[in-house]
Amino acid sequence: VELNQVRRMVADIVYFDENLDLRLALYTKSTLFALSDDEMNSIRILINLAILNPKVKGGLRWPIGKSYSGNYRVVGVWHQEVKSYKSPSLKVKVRNIDRFRFKSGNGEAIIGINLKFRRIVPEIQVFAAFCFNFIT
């Protein structure tokens, strides 16, 4: 029996030289109350060994055999670029995502589009009220 993974820590890392923002998420299978100094050191080693490489899926890679430290290992890498466009009646968010999963060795690239119509709900409500009144 395995417990569901619990997100214990999220750290945002900014590389000003590379114009890059990274987010590190630590997931565990059991509840942790505090990280020991050795565990924090293992996590720091993983972060410091990461190599920025825009040509690979996820944008990060580790030297061969260095994707783990202590009890921690890298299981996946995501790279996401988001662009937003707004108008008075529409909001569009376009995401370009590429990711790599170390366990399966698979990488994928996805383009996602999120549309939000701002004034369409009140217009539909007015139309529905008109139709309801017309029928009755």
The per-residue pLDDT for 42 is 85
Ranges of each domain in the chain: 6-135
The per-residue pLDDT for 3 is 46
Instruction: Return the CA Rg of the chain.
Output: 22
- When pLDDT is averaged across residues 47-51 and rounded to a whole number, the result is 84
Bridge partners (DSSP) of residue 95 are: 82, 112
Residue type, 59: G
pLDDT digits (tens, 9 = 90+) for 69-124: 887 888 888 878 889 999 888 889 999 888 888 778 888 888 999 988 877 777 77
* Inter-residue contact 67 to 102 (CB < 8 Å): yes
The per-residue pLDDT for 5 is 61
Bridge partners (DSSP) of residue 87 are: none
pTM of the model: 0.56
Residues 97 and 79: their CA atoms lie apart, in Å, by 6
